[in-house]
Chains A and B, each alone.
Chain A
Amino acid sequence: MRVALLTLIGLALFPFFFHAIDGYAGLATQIVIVSIASIGFNFLLGYTGLLSYGHAMFYGSGGYVAALMLIRVMPQHPNLWLAVIGGTLAATALALLVGALAVRLYGIYFALLTLAFAQMIFFVVEQSQDWTNGDDGLQNFPTALLPVGPYTIDLGTPLPALALGPFGNLSDIKLWYVFAAVALLGVILGMRALTRSQFGEVLTAIRENEERSSLIGFNAAAYRLAAFAISGALTGLSGALRALYDGTVAVDAVGIDRSGSFVIYTIVGGVQTLFGPVIGTGLIMYLEAVLSAQISYWRLIEGVIFVAVIIFLPAGIVGTLTRKAAERARQRRALLAESLRARTGGPT
């Protein structure tokens, strides 16, 4: 409940504070959307212990399928629900396929296999010009509309105007942001429930000590496959939303740099934390957008941050903060217990 409230407030205030630090609403929406993919990636890396170097294949396939559905299947009645669901299902199917093959491998071999599949898909997408328009990508597809009961919503509609000084104007925010924020909220709550469920605990057990878990009777491969599929699904959902929001999708969505970006966002934010991937995505995407206009070597700064985090803050920004907070909380409790015992004269 606290998490839900915290997230809700955070998401509601985010675009305005973002504007005050030179961000803009469009980027805020993109950050929210991509965070979903980072959370999906983190589920695989942080909780299942598998480093995938090919997650762009899910992000990209989600995007391309969503776009293709609008262009080829329903150009007359572009339905956003169907496009999003279509993209997510495609990514999930791909994840099941690749996962079935990949979960038998470990460590570097797993990472390289995911890389191999992602690269294959990248080149196939690039070459299938009739379907994907090659390097130029798909553009100009119909605006997806969102049927909700008796209404049909165009997510491009802005909120009513209300000037907020340094925080911009309420009308900077389009309904797209609201939609994406609700989606992210759902994903965060779902992820929280998942990691605390029995499924999540088994995954942790498998990650910590696979041999022992197998001896108890858990089918490690099956659990990993399920985790892989969930991870792929979330990343595909993100890709679909991004393509629909941008109105365009190109090969860079399936590329190796995109795969690498999820790794960077998640590590910097904090592996194995709930909010880490979101914070990491926001921070790095913000730096990219804002810094790149001022400094030509912003990617160097990004690389330095990344390496510094790995060496000095292996738990990521959020992870280190929560660890420190947990540490302080523990110390406080110990002190409290100590003083209580002193007063009541109980056992030491």
Chain B
Amino acid sequence: MTPVSTSSRGRFIGSAAAASAVAFGSPAILSAQSKEIVIGLNVPQSGPYSEQGKDQLRAYNLAIDEINKSGGIMGLKVKTSVGDDQTTAGVARDNAQRMIDRDGAVMITGGSSTGTAVAVSALCQQKGSLFMATLTHGDETTNQNCHKHTFRRYNDAYMSAQALARTLISKYGTGTWFHITADYSWGWSVHDNLAAVVNPRGAKEIANVKLKLGTTDFSSALSQAQAAKPDVLVLTEFGADMVNCLNQAATFGLTKSCKILVPLVDEYMAKGTKDNFTNVVSTAPFYWQYHQQHYTFAKKFVGAFYDRYKVYPSNGAECAYVNILVYKKAVEQAQSTDPAKLIPILENMQWNMTKGPEHFRKEDHQGVNSVLVLEGVPEADRGADGFAFAKVLEEHSGPNVIAPLNSLSCKMETA
């Protein structure tokens, strides 16, 4: 509940707001009559990140169907309420409100942008609902805008920057870098983290051109990049924006003339850019081809996903899937869907699923798990459907790359 300040004079109507929510039935607590657990899936189904949203839905449906087949959670069937967040903060927030108020969702999950994640996180905090963020990469979800009710398993920008820098620094540390950045919180987060790591070690940043989310024409930024002839070109774009940007960069000859970094990638972005992604270095929290070789649980998940959908899971899908399983585990441990009981459990829980041992950090609810540094392989080597798009250069463990606690500005609520 948002803290309420009391007026020095007069009586205060509503000071029991927090208490009254409990008294009148917080939506997150199941009433005795509910026969089911409703989970809100708030994903982009339109806009530049809609492929990612679609894949998350595939994973959610897979996880929930598996759970329901084996008896549900605490014997209750799991139902979903789906919404299109349109990658817009206001819409995402309204969806979450609808899912909670009207459909009785006890947990909200999904999303492909930090902007929407922050909005939904605030709403869930206000309503006392649990939010298990999926594809949000910007630091602020578990830093400046952290909330007690929000948990974020996905790597954040700090972790990716650390991982990238450690793998690349010996080769490119003292070169010239040119940045093209998506102009919103995620883009700034990634750029700032990357610059903070490489610039002090000798990298020279020539420029940072910022372009709106959803830009289709990158020609002016790419022209400037071309003129600058950098050693490294960083394209901090995601989803369809990244595909456009990289493809257009190729027509400007940039894929041949400099080393390209795309701080975060997934299978659909690689497919959309085809051979232009060859030799591009990137990070991801999960890569199906790598993880299925090293972790049996991952192999099972990838197999089940492929059997059902005939495509391999992207890293957003994997996060969605595991989010549901972690939630189930916590609810069964608490024997309740009440966030007040779930939060301490989630803060202390450990699990070993697709990526080996993982947990959430108690102070900021950031997931502590590994980051992969990948390099794109030629399209001819990617298999018939193009999903085997990279080779792993290095796997960095979560604790090695996570932001240190003393660098955080997260002030979490007590409830």
Contacts and interface: CB of A to CB of B under 8 A. Distances in A.
Query: Are both chains from one complex?
Result: yes
A142 interface: yes
Interface centre among A27, A134, A136, A246 (most CB of B within 10 A): A136
Given A135-B115, A154-B17, A156-B17, A250 B90 contact: yes
B93 interface: yes
A219 B139 CA distance: 57
A210 interface: no
A149 B83 CA distance: 42
A314 interface: no
Interface stretch (B97-105, B237-245, B313-321): B97-105
- Tell which of A27, A30, A139, A289 has the most Cβ of chain B within 10 Å: A139
Interface in A134-173: 134-137, 139-140, 142-143, 145, 147, 149-158, 161, 169, 171-172
Nearest to B93: A248
B24 A171 contact: yes
Contact of A156 (B14, B23, B122): B14
B185 A22 contact: no
B125 to A, nearest CB: 9
Contact of B4 (A76, A154, A175): A154
Contacts of B102: 22-24, 27
B45 interface: yes
Interface string B2-27: 10111101111111010010011100
Interface residues of A, number: 48
Interface in B22-70: 23-25, 45
Interface in B183-216: 183-185, 212-213
A152 B115 contact: no
B412 interface: no
Nearest to B45: A296
Given A135-B213, A137-B119, A252 B45 contact: no
Interface in A300-324: none
A140 B122 contact: yes
B24 A161 contact: yes
Interface string A236-262: 000000000011111011000000000
Contacts of A331: none
Contact of A152 (B12, B25, B81, B97): B12
A126 B184 CA distance: 9
A27 B103 CA distance: 13
A139 B13 contact: no
B13 A147 contact: no
Given A22-B102, A253-B90, A293-B98, A157 B20 contact: yes
A77 interface: yes
Given A150-B10, A153-B14, A136 B5 contact: no
B91 A252 contact: yes
A78 to B, nearest CB: 8
Interface string B95-117: 00110011100000000001100
B89 A152 contact: no
B101 A252 contact: no
Does more than half of chain A's interface fall in helix, strand or loop, or is it mixed?
mixed
B292 interface: no
Contacts of A157: 13-14, 17, 20
A157 to B, nearest CB: 4
A25 interface: yes
Contact of A248 (B11, B122, B185): B122
Contact of A246 (B12, B14, B93): B93
Contact of A154 (B13, B88, B114, B123): B13
A298 B24 CA distance: 34
Given A134-B184, A152-B7, A248-B90, A158 B20 contact: yes
A247 B2 CA distance: 10
A152 B13 contact: yes
A293 B82 contact: yes
Contact of A26 (B12, B91, B101, B119): B101
Which interface residue of A23, A77, A175, A247 has the most chain B CB atoms within 10 A? A247
Interface string B295-323: 00000000000000000000000000000
A136 B185 contact: yes
Contacts of B118: 136, 139
Contacts of A156: 14, 17
Contacts of B25: 171
Given A24-B102, A27-B98, A136-B119, A147 B84 contact: no
B101 A126 contact: no
Given A126-B212, A152-B7, A247 B122 contact: yes
B278 interface: no
B145 interface: yes
B126 interface: yes
A292 interface: yes
Contact of A250 (B89, B97, B114, B126): B89
Contacts of A246: 90, 93
A180 to B, nearest CB: 15
B93 to A, nearest CB: 6
Contacts of A22: 102
Interface of B: 2, 4-7, 9-15, 17, 20, 23-25, 45, 81-84, 88-91, 93-94, 97-98, 101-103, 114-115, 118-119, 122-123, 126, 145, 183-185, 212-213
Given A137-B119, A248-B123, 15 more contacts: A23-B102, A27-B102, A78-B5, A135-B89, A136-B184, A139-B89, A150-B10, A150-B11, A152-B6, A153-B13, A156-B17, A161-B23, A172-B101, A250-B90, A296-B45
